[in-house]
A and B are shown apart, each in its own frame.
Chain A
Amino acid sequence: MCGIAGIIYRNGGGEHRVGADMTAMLQAMKHRGPDSTGYALYRTASDGYVMHVKLAESNGYQEFDLAERLNRQRADIESRMKASGAAISSIDSTTSQHAMTVAFGFDGDLKQLADYIEDVRDTEVLSLGRSLEIIKDLGDADTVAADYKLGSFIGTHAIGHARMATESDVDIANAHPYWAYPFPDVAVVHNGQLTNYHQWRRRLERAGHRFQSECDSEIIAVYLAERMAQGDSLEDSMRRSLGELDGVFTYLCVTEDALGVAKDELGAKPLVLYESDEIVALASEEIAIRRVVDREIETYDPYEGAVMVWTR
């Protein structure tokens, strides 16, 4: 099942309580997926980069020296970043023991840096960008928002995902959103099932892309990354995906300044859309939108095969 949601504010500036709004939307759709919750949140782009790293699974095997291992990983990541020429401005690992957030300045090759960090055992780069931050963990939206202090996140737009696992494990690796590695500031959430996953995975692996999970949805992020690497725009890539990805899907994709949605040609997965001068809000169910727009509103379901993109 899964619940997906997206919100983009149109009334200028970057001062919106996007963390709290997205939490309210996802919590309203808890019944669609209580396994894990994920966020891709955007703040106004800064000069430096922010990187979210997963050091271990929160429900994985807990060896007796886990704390020591996590500390070794942190130190290793820090030294590798310095060796790559990154100027680290802050490291925050207080929110969660198995996660790490690094703010840094960098002008080298981002893919090379991300590859080097992921080479540290058990490490996964969840997101990397000037404005994007991906946070995902087990539990419902209120739990994850409290663990990662998202209630105070001020930003410009976001997508989120409440997961009911159908095709792969309940853990952070298989939770959404997926970052379109190595494209900074691009992320995807998906509701549905892709049936030509293995075909695309083999194809994309041959093209040099890396996969961090067994989740079919990861294909969409990597697929879009590949199309954009070939020079397509986000909208063109999404349009093309309708013909090339099989199965049932509604997915949301975000970049630094845009929010897009694509629906498969059967219209098998729901999406409700609300557009006004102030915001555009989309969700699997209207009840989620009503948590941020608390009045009677005019909404509709976009039709099958729809590809729509809004910019800030």
Chain B
Amino acid sequence: MTATYDARGLVELDGTIPRVSEIDGERAVMEARELSTRKINAELRWLLYERGVKDVTILNPSARHSLGVGILTRSRITFEGSLGYFGCGLIDGPEVRINGRVGWSVAENMMSGVVVIESNAGSLAGAALRGGDLVVKGQVGARTGIDQKGGTIIVMGSAGSMTGFMMQRGRQIILGDVGHGLGDSMYDGTLYVGGKVASLGIDCVEGEWTDADTELIERKFRIYGLGEPPELKKFVCGKKLYNYDSLEPSERKLVL
């Protein structure tokens, strides 16, 4: 449904596609400075879905919210600048590079794909992540990967409190220090930490290192060119708090 009336001046009513990008075969460059959030997203979808463009560069995103959301196709998207909140949420497929910083809830609920952030990220990075890789080269805020259900989050800097809160699956590799309540109320999944842990959350315990852990870390560092991995500690769920199984509904059918 499209809004047609806005009493408080908070809704963007005009959703027409601006069609201003410079397109060169499968590549396109969008100058976003003068465009509204809604127009940037409409233009991006038009390029990827209707013009067959596979590689889009967006100039001057200017820290606006909700850019690059809901993209469900394999593609390469580069933001030359910082994003605000909810950047690249609900995506399935794209390889995104953000040459700047992001606000809260980046890559929320990503199904597959890659999001690489060159600078810092706010809180709730990779919230409810289902798959794909989220790489943050700077530091992140609190509650990174809250409710994470798959995929991998790599943070080169430090992380705030409640990292991996209620995590259900997937992996997080934090190279720096983490705040209080690491892995609080986690159900499953693995947390790797290189720096100091301020405190562990409820039912989060240190896990036993295996060859599979070494293989995973080395592979991810190789893919993203992150150099030699440092020594990490592994944290997992103590499984004292819950009695659920950790299977997806489709997997449960296969097992039973």
Majority-rule SS of A interface residues? loop
- Complex CA gap A139/B167 in Å reads 41
> Are A286 and B82 closer than 8 Å at their CB atoms?
yes
From 253 to 300 in chain A, residues with beta carbon under 8 angstroms from any chain B beta carbon are 265-268, 270, 272, 285-287, 289-290, 296-300
Contact call B120/A301, Cβ cutoff below 8 A: yes
Residue interface bits A298-312, CB-to-B below 8 A is 1, else 0: 111101100000000
Q: Does A140 contact B (CB under 8 A)?
A: yes
In the assembled complex, how far is the CB of residue B193 from the closest CB belonging to chain A, in whole angstroms?
16
Contacts A270-B104, A299-B120 given: A287-B81 contact, CB under 8 Å? no
Residues of chain A lying within 8 A (CB to CB) of residue B180: 265, 304
Give the CA-CA distance A34 to B11 in the complex, in Å: 13
Residues on the B chain within 8 Å of A303, using CB: 141-142, 160-161, 179
What is the CA–CA distance of A303 and B9 in the complex, to the nearest angstrom? 33
- For the complex, is A176 an interface residue (Cβ under 8 Å from B)? no
Give chain B residues whose Cβ lies under 8 Å from the Cβ of A239: none
Q: Mark B43-87, 1 if CB is under 8 A from A, else 0.
A: 000000000000000000011110000000000000001101100
Which A residues are in CB contact (< 8 Å) with B130?
A: none
A52 within 8 A of B: no
Residues in B with CB closer than 8 Å to A285 are: 63, 65, 84-85, 103
Number of interface residues of B (CB under 8 A): 29
Q: A157 within 8 Å of B by Cβ?
A: no
- Residue pair B119, A298 in contact (C-beta under 8 Å): yes
A289 vs B104: C-alpha distance when bound (angstroms) = 15
Give, as a whole number of angstroms, the nearest-CB distance from A238 to chain B: 19
Does chain A have a CB within 8 A of B1?
Answer: no
| B228–chain A nearest beta-carbon distance, Å | 26
Q: Tell me whether A267 and B123 are in contact in the complex, defined as CB-CB below 8 angstroms, given that A286-B63, A303-B141 are known contacts.
A: yes
Chain A residues near B138 (CB, 8 Å)? Answer: 300
Chain B residues, CB < 8 A from A289: 63
A34 & B8 in contact (Cβ 8 Å cutoff): yes
Is B101 among interface residues, defined by CB-CB distance under 8 A?
yes
A304 touches B142 (CB 8 A): yes
Does A30 sit within 8 A of B, measured CB to CB?
A: yes
Establish whether residues A300 and B101, one from each chain, have CB atoms under 8 Å apart when the complex forms.
yes
Considering only residues 181-217 of chain A, those with a C-beta below 8 Å from chain B are none
Answer whether residue B122 sits at the interface, using C-beta atoms and an 8 A cutoff.
yes
Interface presence of B10 (CB below 8 A): yes
Contact with A along B129-151 (1 / 0, CB 8 A): 00000000011011100000000
Q: Which of B101, B123, B162 contacts A286 (CB 8 A)?
A: B101
At the interface, yes or no: B100 with Cβ under 8 Å from chain A? yes
* Chain A residues near B139 (CB-CB < 8 A): 300
A287 touches B62 (CB 8 A): yes
State whether A296 touches B84 (Cβ < 8 A): no
Chain B, residue nearest A297 (CB): B82
Contact B10 A267 (CB under 8 A): no
Chain A positions within 8 Å of B160 at CB level: 267, 301, 303-304
A31 in the interface (beta carbon within 8 A) = yes
Task: Find out whether the CB atom of A290 lies under 8 angstroms from the CB atom of B179.
Answer: no
Contact, CB under 8 Å: A299 / B101:
yes
Q: Which residue of A lies closest to B62 (CB)?
A: A290
The 4 closest A-B pairs by CB, nearest first: A267-B142, A286-B63, A301-B141, A300-B120
Binding site for B on A (CB under 8 A): 30-31, 34, 140, 265-268, 270, 272, 285-287, 289-290, 296-301, 303-304
28 contacts between A and B (CB under 8 A): A34-B8, A34-B9, A34-B10, A265-B161, A267-B123, A267-B142, A267-B143, A267-B160, A267-B161, A267-B179, A270-B103, A270-B104, A285-B85, A285-B103, A287-B64, A287-B65, A296-B81, A296-B82, A298-B119, A299-B82, A299-B120, A300-B101, A300-B138, A301-B141, A301-B160, A303-B160, A303-B179, A304-B142
